[in-house]
């Protein structure tokens, strides 16, 4: 039985590999070979990667693809996407091409406000706390000036600080609910530093101003930003006359428009469908966020909370037919950054931003929203016409052939064959077996 290890983080990279290979894999030599295979030959670049996180033993690669022909607010983009799932880049590209000659995508920033909170418990009189906060509110701004000075020169800073009484949800629970503008930075470190200063000010002023009477107490539990940013919002949309919504040769534009609207209505009525519907949107969103060095876990959490803001889980996209025009749009919260973090360190992230023509944070929000909308449009277009599997399985074909260790000649033959035939896993296996039998 493998025993716990002490001081793993202090081991050299080679010793970490040896330990994990010998204790947790069946073939230590093969494990070591695989891990080393993904090291970068450039030692300086590899060291950079090693220092991104702790206990690094190798690199984990994801495909880096390009979805071209995105016309956004009359500006043409090629969008980089980092993702492992088949058909995502192809679907986004197909949607971009479809809308290229129909006016492209239109976007608008609805807000850029980010949120942080100081959570604390106070056992005294709530009216006394409210009076205290009104009297000392300016101190929270003043005593954080050393943190906000640089951000303010860039047009950002603290927007508001308010006291919220949360005792109806949890006894004695209050919070300082704070909003921030962080410009092109994602701003997590800035926000958290400000919040910790607010906590210090709160505790110090509470003592000085006599807020805490005998038998009462005030205790700060934590100070942390929120990844739920409903007011850091972007809208993206497409529209065209119904007559131009020719999604499939066997389905009329009128029927296509009707079924697209119905598909969104179903996602709004049925959470089981809404989750998969929104997952498809996030295929596009996450791929661009990852390629540009942003935090896709934070975005995912905030987006799904936003989808449930009404109390039920709904579609992130909407569709309508009005006066002969089909419209399809999304409103999505995206707290993104284009400076700091990996954007200045990771060469591929830096390149992704260059490919996107070095967007500001607001511009990147719009690009990412478009990627999500395009992905959803492509998915629904398939679902309401041919079904999702026809296109997806053709994109997945090479994965199946690689699993079966097909040669390059076999791949060429079968890719050609499945251009005109339905590609299911069993059909690919059967076709490959027949091809090999005939050799």
Catalytic annotation, residues: 85, 279, 295, 392
Per-residue CA distances from 199 to 134, 144, 151, 171, 188 (Å) = 16, 11, 20, 20, 17
Per the DSSP assignment, residues forming a β-bridge with 157 are: 181
CA dihedral for 148, 149, 151, 153, sign (positive or negative): positive
Helices (H) and strands (E) in the chain, counts: 15, 10
CA-atom Rg of the chain in angstroms:
27
- Name the region of 372 (left: φ>0; alpha: ψ -120 to 50; beta: rest): alpha
- Beta sheet of 325-333, edge-to-edge order: 106-109, 233-241, 325-333, 317-322
Do residues 394 and 423 make contact, with C-beta atoms less than 8 angstroms apart? yes
* Residue with tokens 């509110």, as numbered in its chain: 137
Tokens matching residue 245: 């919504």
Residue 433: half-sphere exposure toward Cβ, Cα within 13 Å: 6
């Amino acid at each position: 039985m493998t025993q716990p290890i002490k001081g793993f983080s202090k081991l050299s990279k080679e010793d970490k590999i040896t330990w994990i290979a010998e204790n947790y894999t069946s073939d230590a030599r093969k494990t070591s070979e695989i891990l080393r295979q993904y090291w970068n030959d450039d030692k300086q670049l590899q060291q950079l990667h090693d220092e991104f996180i702790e206990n690094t033993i190798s690199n984990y690669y994801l495909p880096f693809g390009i979805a071209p022909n995105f016309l956004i607010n009359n500006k043409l983009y090629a969008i980089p996407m980092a993702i492992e799932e088949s058909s995502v880049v192809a679907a986004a590209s197909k949607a971009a091409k479809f809308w290229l000659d129909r006016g492209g995508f239109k976007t608008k920033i609805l807000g850029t406000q980010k949120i942080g909170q100081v959570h604390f418990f106070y056992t005294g009189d709530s009216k006394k706390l409210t009076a205290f906060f009104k009297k000392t509110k300016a101190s929270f701004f003043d005593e954080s000036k050393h943190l906000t000075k640089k951000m303010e020169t860039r047009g950002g800073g603290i927007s508001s600080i308010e006291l919220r009484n949360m005792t109806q949800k949890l006894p004695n629970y209050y919070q300082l609910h704070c909003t921030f503008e962080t410009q092109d930075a994602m701003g997590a470190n800035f926000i958290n530093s400000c919040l910790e200063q607010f906590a210090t000010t709160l505790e110090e002023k509470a003592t000085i101003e006599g807020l805490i009477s005998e038998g009462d107490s005030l205790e700060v539990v934590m100070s942390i930003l929120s990844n739920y940013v409903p007011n850091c919002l972007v809208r993206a949309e497409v529209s065209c006359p119904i007559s131009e919504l020719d999604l499939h040769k066997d389905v009329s534009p009128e029927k296509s428009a009707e079924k697209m609207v119905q598909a969104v209505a179903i996602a709004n009525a049925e959470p089981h469908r809404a989750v998969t519907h929104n997952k498809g949107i996030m295929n596009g969103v996450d791929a661009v966020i990852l390629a540009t060095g942003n935090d896709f876990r934070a975005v995912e959490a905030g987006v799904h909370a936003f989808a449930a803001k009404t109390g039920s889980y709904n579609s992130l996209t909407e569709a309508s037919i009005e006066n002969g025009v089909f419209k399809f749009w999304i409103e999505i919260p995206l707290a993104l950054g284009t400076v700091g973090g990996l954007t200045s360190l990771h060469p591929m992230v830096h390149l992704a931003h260059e490919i996107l023509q070095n967007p500001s944070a607001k511009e990147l929000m719009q690009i990412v929203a478009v990627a999500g909308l395009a992905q959803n449009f492509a998915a629904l277009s398939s679902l309401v016409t041919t079904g999702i599997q026809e296109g997806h399985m053709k994109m997945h074909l090479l994965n199946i052939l690689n699993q079966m260790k097909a040669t390059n000649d076999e791949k060429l033959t079968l890719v050609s064959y499945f251009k005109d035939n339905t590609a299911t896993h069993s059909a690919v296996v059967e076709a490959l077996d027949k091809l090999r039998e005939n050799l």
